[in-house]
Homo-oligomer: A and B are copies of this chain.
């Protein structure tokens, strides 16, 4: 192994891992107590750091929130959006999207998602613009997929905007009530929700 450049130098991988751990710990606290109710002192303590030590890793409290949200959006885009974008048929694309989005919500990445949903009005300025742009990309994807499906006669002539937000509401609400040990298993939830949502709009042929 090569010697680090300076006495305080830390291999980049370790620094990255430490940074990610801080984001996860902070996400846990903010998720429980809300952004307004969580102090940097509390986050530092939960990370086993002094407040000064925490500021070594994190630029500001708002930037920390932005990083948590970007982290959540990265995971969402990797595991959902980029997986379904290439699907040619709009109904198949939307069905797969609902399935993958549901699995993300039920699969334990609920902290970052809760924060993205709850603290949407907390960010200001460029940070808010950045996160809103990422969210809007998803809404536009849904809306244009519904528009395409209507145009191709694949579904009834529903309002694509209302359909997009009904889709989002149905899926985003899951984190409020779903319990992994509850009466509805994860895979059945996805199947039931697709049946309910698409059973309504697909033409019966």
Contact = CB atoms under 8 A, between A and B. Distances in A.
A159 B184 contact: yes
Contacts of A195: 158
Nearest to A164: B177
Interface in A153-205: 156, 158-159, 161-163, 165-166, 168-174, 176-177, 183-184, 188-189, 192-193, 195-201, 204
A37 B163 CA distance: 34
Given A36-B37, A121-B32, A165-B177, A198 B196 contact: no
A128 interface: no
A35 interface: yes
Contact of A196 (B38, B163, B204): B163
Contact of A169 (B32, B121, B169): B169
Contacts of A120: 176
Given A37-B34, A158-B196, A184-B161, A172 B174 contact: no
A33 interface: yes
B184 A174 contact: no
A165 B158 contact: no
A118 interface: yes
A118 B176 CA distance: 10
Nearest to A114: B121
A133 to B, nearest CB: 15
Contacts of A189: 162
19 contacts: A158-B192, A158-B199, A159-B184, A159-B188, A159-B196, A161-B183, A162-B192, A165-B174, A166-B170, A166-B173, A166-B197, A168-B173, A169-B171, A169-B174, A169-B176, A170-B173, A173-B173, A196-B200, A204-B204
